[in-house]
Amino acid sequence: MAISLTVMGCQNKKMINLTEITGIFEKHGIPLSEPKGMHPENVFLRNLNGVAPQTFTINESQLISTLPVKEL
CA distances for 62 relative to 12, 16, 26, 54, angstroms: 34, 22, 15, 14
Which DSSP state fits 2?
-
Instruction: Give the pLDDT confidence score for residue 10 in this predicted structure.
Output: 53
Instruction: Give the pLDDT confidence score for residue 13 in this predicted structure.
Output: 63
Instruction: Give the pLDDT confidence score for residue 27 in this predicted structure.
Output: 93
Instruction: Give the pLDDT confidence score for residue 12 in this predicted structure.
Output: 55
Instruction: Give the pLDDT confidence score for residue 7 in this predicted structure.
Output: 57
Give me the percent of the chain exceeding a pLDDT of 70: 75
DSSP assignment of 5-68, as one string? ------TTSPPP-HHHHHHHHHHTT--EE---S--TT-GGG--BTTBPPEEEEETTTEEEEE-P
Say whether pLDDT at 6 is over 80.
no
Average pLDDT of the chain to the nearest whole number: 79
